[in-house]
Amino acid sequence: MLVVKSVGPVKVFKMGRDLLPGKAYYFTSAYLVDGLLVDTGSPRQKHEFLKALENTPIHTVVNTHSHEDHIGANRALSKQGVEIKAHPKALPILRNPSLLNMGLYRQFFWGIPEPSDGSPVGEKLETENFSFQVIEVPGHSPDHIALYEPSEGWLFCGDAYVGGKDRAYRKVYRPKQIIESLQKMASLEISYLFPGSGTIYKDGQEKIKAKLEHLTELRDTILELHRQGLPPKAIARKVVGREPFITWLTFGDFSALNLVECFLKDFAS
């Protein structure tokens, strides 16, 4: 599934994985403005996405990070002469996506990206009409960046902001960095927040601050229960309840237990 709409001069491509007819799940997105494309979706939606881009001038792709659902059309666009840019830590993964160590569920939902070559994005990115600051926002992944256009107040943040309450993490998530990245983004004047989910927020700054409040409360609760002597499994049951469905769907790659252990690793040492 692919939905295309515009927010001012920004064209939004929201993609979902079709599991049942007319029913899409697990959304990702790409954004196009002034010839700059932020992310390229997942391999599963590549052909539909490329068809939607036909006859559209694109000079540069910037990947917010190297996860498969953000780099899916990199190679195809590179073959068309589009320059690919990303954080330096992302470039080896773009060249060799097997470094993602994708489990079967990720291959099923998103597909396996083709290798692509890229170059470091630098600290600033200029288009004909806009100037974007490149902001490092690790935590979800070590190579994560956001693009901020200060005169417009646009923040393209990939998965550095994920809406809702966190109930399950992968073991590689770093909550301390996630919180620090959210604090960095919360200090910006934001008119529109463009996250990786494709759900756009006009009250982006408030959304980020609410997420910060949730994560700091979650951190404090986990640490207090840890001080009381509860083991991680018991803490997970207290703060989340039963393991969420995503735990079983991802064969334990995402879990409430991982969430608790990530917070303890970052904050209890």
Domain presence at residue 250: no
Give the residue ranges of DSSP H helices in 102-203: 104-109, 175-186
Domain count, the chain: 1
Q: How large is the average pLDDT for residues 117-125?
A: 97
Confidence of residue 109 (pLDDT cuts 50, 70, 90): confident
- 130 forms beta bridges with none
The size of the chain, in residues, is 269
Per the structure, the complete domain to which residue 159 belongs is given by 2-166+187-213
The domain that holds 144 is classified in CATH as 3.60.15.10
Domain presence at residue 257: no
Contact 33, 9 (CB under 8 A): yes
176-223 pLDDT, tens digit each = 999 999 999 999 999 999 999 999 999 899 999 999 999 999 999 999
Domain presence at residue 261: no
Q: Kindly report the backbone phi and psi dihedral angles of residue 114, in degrees, each rounded to the nearest multiple of 5, phi listed first.
A: -80, 155
225-234 pLDDT, tens digit each = 999 999 999 9
Confidence of residue 20 (pLDDT cuts 50, 70, 90): low
- 28 forms beta bridges with 15
- Residues whose CB is less than 8 angstroms from the CB of residue 259 and which lie 6 or more positions away in sequence, other chains included: 166, 167, 168, 169, 173, 236, 239, 240
* Cross-sheet strand order for the sheet of 154-158: 124-126, 131-136, 145-149, 154-158, 192-195
DSSP, res 14: E
Q: Which helix (H) or strand (E) holds 225?
A: helix 204-227
Contact 48, 25 (CB under 8 A): no
Which of 121, 118, 60, 113 lies closest to 92 in space, CA to CA? 118
Domain presence at residue 26: yes
pTM metric for this prediction: 0.95
Domain presence at residue 233: no
Domain presence at residue 251: no
Q: How large is the average pLDDT for residues 30-57?
A: 96
Domain presence at residue 37: yes
Domain presence at residue 83: yes
DSSP, res 114: P
Q: Kindly report the backbone phi and psi dihedral angles of residue 200, in degrees, each rounded to the nearest multiple of 5, phi listed first.
A: -95, 140
